[in-house]
Structure 1
Amino acid sequence: MARKLKARKLIVILAFVSFCILTIPTVIYWCNFRGYKLSDSPGDWGVFGDYMGGVLNPLLSIVNLIVLGYLTIFVSEQDNRMALNQFRFDLYVDVKEKLTILDRNTTKKDLDELITKVRSFGDFGFLFDKKADYQSAVNRLIEILDRIGKEMKESLPEKQIRGVGDSAKREDLYNEIKEYNKTHEELLLFIQTEITKK
């Protein structure tokens, strides 16, 4: 909304400046030569045309350069915004596909692979206005996975979470899994919100 108001304001200003550029030389010419009658001679009208062209062409060229500069910046910002949203969308898809939801059948090997993937997503905070929020969610995921990994450190790579330790230890792991899955969903929601905001 603010961009539209800014663009409208700029258009009104440019229209006013253009009107002034066109009007001022004509008024100056009229003030200097108002005592003369309108000429029937094409040569006199040619001189008037040279005067107007000589005065207006440089001024209109400057206005055109300003408009061209503005349009270049505007298009560049739009392209950057579109590219940024595409990066965010790609990241969303990667997070959704690669950061799987944990369950009781997750093995130590699955967990190690997941930790590597989560760490790789930590480098993408620059894509967001709220870098700290993104980084915080990724760091929470890493912390949770590290805690689960410590609990499973003595397990064989193929052993599933549901087969680790006693029931109290498994219950702790299940709670960690719930926290991981919740944080994973929060991260997806955060990225989705960033993609859809204008």
Structure 2
Amino acid sequence: MRLFALLLALSPLRAAELKLPHEFEEPARLALSAPPEFAAAALLRLVESGRVQDEQTKRTLLDEAFDLAAHSHFQIAMRAPSSQSDSAAASLAKAYALHLDSASLQSRAVLAMLQFNRVRAREMFLSMPQPELPALTCKDALVYDVEAFYRALGAVARSGFSAKERARQDHVSLLLQYAGGVHTAAQVDPMNAAIA
């Protein structure tokens, strides 16, 4: 309820404050009145379209998308390990494939921010919770999909540090910190890709 009130309060005000091309004013207003995962995805698309040129507006949109993404219904994406066509798990896997979970949306915001503000992108990434994946059993039809999170980690490690920070090996420390949090098979390949 509190989030709904927040969205109602933000919708007209936030959209009016932003310097958006005329054709994006109404989509931004509508996005801010949608459920958080859809609002975040819509704001990300506005930035990713390349039509918003003002860096402060991009930052505002990305910060808003990042914050909204934290309230997504699903925290981590999942996928079917094999093809299933006629099951509830297959339907759920299709929903997860939209990448409207918190980790995927926030990772997308980090990657977009990294294009023009590496310090803010790193701050955003560091504020994200590291995936904690409860144990699955053989009866579980879906497995965790944390590739987006580790893709953002790798990008931040490669591009989110100044030359001075890289000389101090700060990017290596970041990778080691997250490597220490790998506890499931679903995290191993994505973490390896982040390091590569």
| TM-score normalised by L of structure 1 | 0.25
Work out which of the two has the higher radius of gyration on C-alpha atoms and give 1 or 2. Answer: 1
> Which protein has the bigger helix share?
1
The structure with higher relative contact order (CA 8 Å, sep 6+) is: 1
